[in-house]
A and B are shown apart, each in its own frame.
Chain A
Amino acid sequence: MKYSYYPGCTLHSTAIEYGWSTEAVCEALGIDLVEIEDWNCCGASSAHSLDPHLALALPTRDLMRAQAVGADIVMPCAACYGRMAAADHKMRSDSAWRKEMEAEFQTEYIGAARPRTLVDVLGNDLSPEALAAKVKRPLNGLRTVSYYGCLLIRPPDLTNRWDDPEHPVVMDRILKALGAEPVQWAHAVECCGASLALDRADVVTVLSGRIVQGANDAEADCIVCACPLCQANLDSRQKGISPKVPVLYITELMGIALDLPGRSKWFAKHLVDPRPMLRRKGLE
């Protein structure tokens, strides 16, 4: 299985453990990730907030460059996915815009490759049985709550409903295959506060705090997510919440289940250290 790979800025920085674990897991599962050559930032919330042209042109450059690989573009970050999906949708639905962009980048847009999120690929292109067959250390007894946030599954006009926008199931399916015990909770699709992380930390503290509290109420051992910004917000805004809840990327848990080397380096990056919990569960 070959995919064009768009890591996005955070996987080289604040979410470096997501980057490491993604690459390790994909390698172990025989997923060939071909990184887009010289990719640029998607523009994130800032571009679409301030400049509608940049908001589409920046990710379009990446879409154009990804065509060289000739496979679906996989990205671990939900926010990057949102921008790529918006840019791809615009290229497909607005021919005047497509012509303008084709001239801008001197490239024809074929549209054969579609932007997809990493969890979509891991949960849908790989059967749960195939995944389960590779599990070496089942995550027995690990109570997880899956957290999707917003842009992974919304808006349906752009995601084409690859998973249900109100009640997504893909992460639970993966976690079950890993032997974990996904728990139902109410906060799977609530917003963490997203880009207000720094400028309105008070809002993020309220929103993320509510989600983390929800995980505690569900007696979950950890929150499982698939977005660097969500992870950072949930991981960093736990003041006053007890006990603190580790927030793990789904690829990190896959790394444990597949018994991949070098894991401790990933967990050291977390603000809420997951290692005591993992130790307790015999999963370190």
Chain B
Amino acid sequence: MTTGATASLSSAVRTSAASTAGNAQRVDPSFLPTVEALSHENIRRCYYCLKCTAGCPTAYAMDYGPAHVLKLVQLGQKDKVLQSKAIWMCVGCETCWTRCPNGIAAGHVMDALKQMALREGYAPAERRVLVLHRQFLTSIRLFGRVHELSMLALYKLLSGDLFTDLDLGARMFLRGKIPILPERIKGMSKIQQLFAKRPRGQE
């Protein structure tokens, strides 16, 4: 994509909190085009009408609403974005995409940003969200299907979040909603092959 145009960004733009304009954060030149390539979304189309934020169910619990995330990506604010809670709070409900006047699926951008944050070693601002996603995928990797009991146990252990919802879990268990033994599919070798594949462009 536009290597030339964005290469010059780094030398030109610094941003900071208003009071410290002097020692502003430098910008990764490839940020915007990389995010566009990973998300397959044309982020430049955003003219910041905020309709996505206005309709986003979890925006109230984000540090930046989805529109702000798009704007920060436009402005090449890599650290801010990849350290944000916002990217982990998106639940992928696709409400933003449904309503965006410019057809941008902000949720897909959020996903690309999560992946980028992980790959580049940014500590996730919502660690438990990441731990749960990982345990969910682990379950698939082991059984081909999700086994709640082992997944939840591991999640509780790894997230350190031992006590929340214990009663809820117990109630579910007692109603026989959480099977003890996992279902394991026959085609596990293919599943494991899929897991072994690194997604293209993410090596």
Interface residues of A, Cβ cutoff 8 Å to B: 9-10, 12-16, 38-41, 43-54, 57-58, 61, 82, 104-105, 149-151, 154-158, 165-166, 190-191, 193-196, 198-203, 206-207, 236, 268-271
Indicate with 1 or 0, residue by residue over B106-143, a CB within 8 angstroms of chain A CB atoms. Answer: 00000110110010000000101111111011011000
Contact among B38, B114, B161 for A49, CB-based, below 8 A: B114
Contact among B98, B146, B159 for A41, CB-based, below 8 A: B146
Residues of chain B lying within 8 A (CB to CB) of residue A45: 91-92, 133
Given A9-B145, A154-B93, A196-B58: A52 in contact with B115 (beta carbons within 8 A):
yes
Q: For the complex, what is the distance from the CA of A50 to the CA of B133, rounded to whole Å? A: 8
Contact among A16, A40, A190, A202 for B191, CB-based, below 8 A: A40
- CB-based contact B199/A43 at 8 Å: no
Given A46-B133, A151-B94: A199 in contact with B126 (beta carbons within 8 A):
yes
Q: For the complex, what is the distance from the CA of A81 to the CA of B13, rounded to whole Å? A: 43
Interface residues of B, Cβ cutoff 8 Å to A: 38, 57-58, 60-61, 89, 91-95, 97-98, 105, 111-112, 114-115, 118, 126, 128-134, 136-137, 139-140, 144-146, 148, 152, 155, 159, 161, 164-165, 168, 171-172, 175-179, 183, 185-187, 190-191, 194-195, 197-200
Residues of chain A lying within 8 A (CB to CB) of residue B58: 191, 193, 196, 203, 207
Q: For the complex, what is the distance from the CA of A149 to the CA of B93, rounded to whole Å? A: 9
The 9 closest A-B pairs by CB, nearest first: A53-B199, A191-B57, A150-B93, A46-B136, A46-B133, A199-B128, A194-B91, A155-B94, A9-B146
Q: For the complex, what is the distance from the CA of A200 to the CA of B88, rounded to whole Å? A: 10
* Number of residue pairs A-B, CB distance < 8 angstroms: 172
Q: For the complex, what is the distance from the CA of A180 to the CA of B7, rounded to whole Å? A: 63
- CB-based contact A157/B146 at 8 Å: no
- CB-based contact A269/B176 at 8 Å: yes
- CB-based contact B61/A47 at 8 Å: no
Residues of chain B lying within 8 A (CB to CB) of residue A156: 98
Could you write out 30 A-B pairs with CB less than 8 Å apart?
A9-B183, A12-B145, A12-B179, A13-B146, A13-B148, A13-B179, A16-B176, A38-B186, A41-B146, A44-B146, A47-B140, A49-B111, A49-B114, A49-B115, A50-B133, A52-B111, A54-B194, A58-B191, A154-B98, A155-B94, A155-B97, A165-B98, A191-B58, A193-B91, A194-B91, A195-B133, A236-B168, A269-B175, A269-B177, A271-B171
Q: For the complex, what is the distance from the CA of A149 to the CA of B60, rounded to whole Å? A: 18
- CB-based contact B131/A40 at 8 Å: no
- Which residue of chain A has the shortest Cβ distance to B128 in the bound complex? A199
- CB-based contact A41/B57 at 8 Å: no
- CB-based contact A196/B89 at 8 Å: yes
Q: For the complex, what is the distance from the CA of A201 to the CA of B57, rounded to whole Å? A: 14
Q: For the complex, what is the distance from the CA of A158 to the CA of B94, rounded to whole Å? A: 10
- CB-based contact B185/A13 at 8 Å: no
Q: For the complex, what is the distance from the CA of A146 to the CA of B100, rounded to whole Å? A: 25
Best-buried of A54, A104, A156, A268 by chain B (most CB within 10 Å): A54
Q: For the complex, what is the distance from the CA of A44 to the CA of B132, rounded to whole Å? A: 12
Q: For the complex, what is the distance from the CA of A157 to the CA of B96, rounded to whole Å? A: 12
Given A13-B178, A154-B95, A155-B98: A198 in contact with B132 (beta carbons within 8 A):
yes
Residues of chain B lying within 8 A (CB to CB) of residue A196: 58, 89, 91, 129
- Which residue of chain A has the shortest Cβ distance to B112 in the bound complex? A52
- CB-based contact A54/B95 at 8 Å: no
Contact among B93, B131, B198 for A151, CB-based, below 8 A: B93
- Which residue of chain A has the shortest Cβ distance to B130 in the bound complex? A50
Q: For the complex, what is the distance from the CA of A19 to the CA of B145, rounded to whole Å? A: 16
Residues of chain A lying within 8 A (CB to CB) of residue B132: 46, 195, 198-199
- CB-based contact B186/A193 at 8 Å: no
- Which residue of chain B has the shortest Cβ distance to A192 in the bound complex? B57
Residues of chain B lying within 8 A (CB to CB) of residue A12: 145, 179, 183
Q: For the complex, what is the distance from the CA of A47 to the CA of B132, rounded to whole Å? A: 11
Residues of chain B lying within 8 A (CB to CB) of residue A198: 128, 132, 152, 155, 164-165
Contact among A16, A82, A155, A201 for B105, CB-based, below 8 A: A155
